[in-house]
Amino acid sequence: MMYIGVDLGGTGIKAGVVTEKGEILSKGSTPTKNERPYAEIIADIAALCRRVVGEAGLTMDDVKAIGVGVPGICDPRTGVIPFCTNLGWHEVPFVDEMHKHIDLPVVVSNDATVAGYAESIAGVSAGTSSSVFVTLGTGVGGGVVIGGKPYSGAHGVGSEIGHMILQMDGEPCTCGNRGCFERYASATAIIREGRKAVEKHPESAIMARCGGKPERINAKTVIDCAKEGDETAKAVFDQYVKGLALGLVSIINILDPEVIVLGGGVSMAGAFLLDAVREAMKPYVFYKTMPYARVELAQLGADAGIIGAALLGRE
């Protein structure tokens, strides 16, 4: 049997037909146009599911279930999506709405949870039973896998790793708190600190690379300059790595997973980031002579959402 995985984003919807082992047979996408009523968006999701099944040379009878990764929180028991900021959704009866179009089991979960699950089945953490996926993007998302299953907590509000507190009374966060992990470990943090740094150090290579316009600085600008040895960029990067390392150590001290997987835009910095984070964690780990979670880069890239959502349907 096959599974359909849907990766629902604020700008685009991707879907694919996936085998039991996590291989994609066909995939497609359609714009979300998130200003529309949810019923229209969900009708488009259903149509996209039919299209990719057709393109795989299959019929809906070959499909066992549909899994959907959503950039918000989900109640897996009711199939309702209580909150999804990017889509402006509030209490959307997602599964019931899907059933108006397709008569197949539909399961929903958080997008980072789904991507982490994909990595744990078909990616860098394949074969492990516990892992934590950390997406380093505009914010910081989290996907926890425990006992080989995606873990989203008792009320569907877990895995919000970006909002564990790293600095009491620290940087104000979009969630209303201060000092959340994502204020220090997201691409947004690098941009914020990069812009601050060029104010003090206009001689930095960052300034040249952004054409003298600090508002053009992005995470890659800073990381590329750090790679090339620019002192100001290196200081910003080192501070970023410290915050990230401390957050990962907190995760280890609570969950002690086999693997921590880094994904999202900042993880594109590759070995430069990975080596720095691994090194920075060493002095912070509690039991210094005991083995602890290995830290790895995500492998599945943009397909993780489709694969993980599809595999969710296996459960």
For residue 2, give the H/E element and its range. Answer: strand 2-8
Q: How many CB atoms lie within 10 A of CB 53?
A: 23
Smallest gap from Cβ 39 to its own copies, in A, equals 23
Q: Which residues contact 47 (CB under 8 A, 6 or more apart)?
A: 30, 101
Q: What length does the chain have?
A: 315
Smallest gap from Cβ 293 to its own copies, in A, equals 7
Cα separation, 112 vs 107, whole angstroms: 15
For residues 104 and 249, which CB has a smaller minimum distance to its own copies in the complex?
249
Task: From 79, 82, 178, 122, select the one nearest 299 (Cα to Cα).
Answer: 122
Smallest gap from Cβ 246 to its own copies, in A, equals 5
For residues 161 and 304, which CB has a smaller minimum distance to its own copies in the complex?
161
For residues 17 and 92, which CB has a smaller minimum distance to its own copies in the complex?
92
β-strands 2-8, 12-18: how paired?
A: antiparallel
For residues 53 and 80, which CB has a smaller minimum distance to its own copies in the complex?
80
Q: At what angle do helices 304-312 and 111-122 cross, to 10 degrees?
A: 90
Smallest gap from Cβ 156 to its own copies, in A, equals 7
Smallest gap from Cβ 159 to its own copies, in A, equals 7
For residue 278, give the H/E element and its range. Answer: helix 271-281
Bridge partners (DSSP) of residue 73 are 83
Binding site for its own copies (CB under 8 A): 73, 82-83, 128-130, 142, 144, 146-147, 151-161, 163-168, 170, 175-177, 184, 242-243, 246-247, 249-258, 283-284, 286-287, 289-293
For residues 68 and 144, which CB has a smaller minimum distance to its own copies in the complex?
144
Smallest gap from Cβ 228 to its own copies, in A, equals 27
Smallest gap from Cβ 69 to its own copies, in A, equals 18
For residues 164 and 268, which CB has a smaller minimum distance to its own copies in the complex?
164
* CA-CA-CA-CA dihedral for 21, 23, 27, 29, to nearest 10: 70
Cα separation, 192 vs 194, whole angstroms: 5
For residues 30 and 250, which CB has a smaller minimum distance to its own copies in the complex?
250
Query: Do residues 113 and 58 touch, judged by C-beta distance below 8 A?
Result: no
- Determine the Cα angle at 308 with ends 311 and 143, to 5°: 125
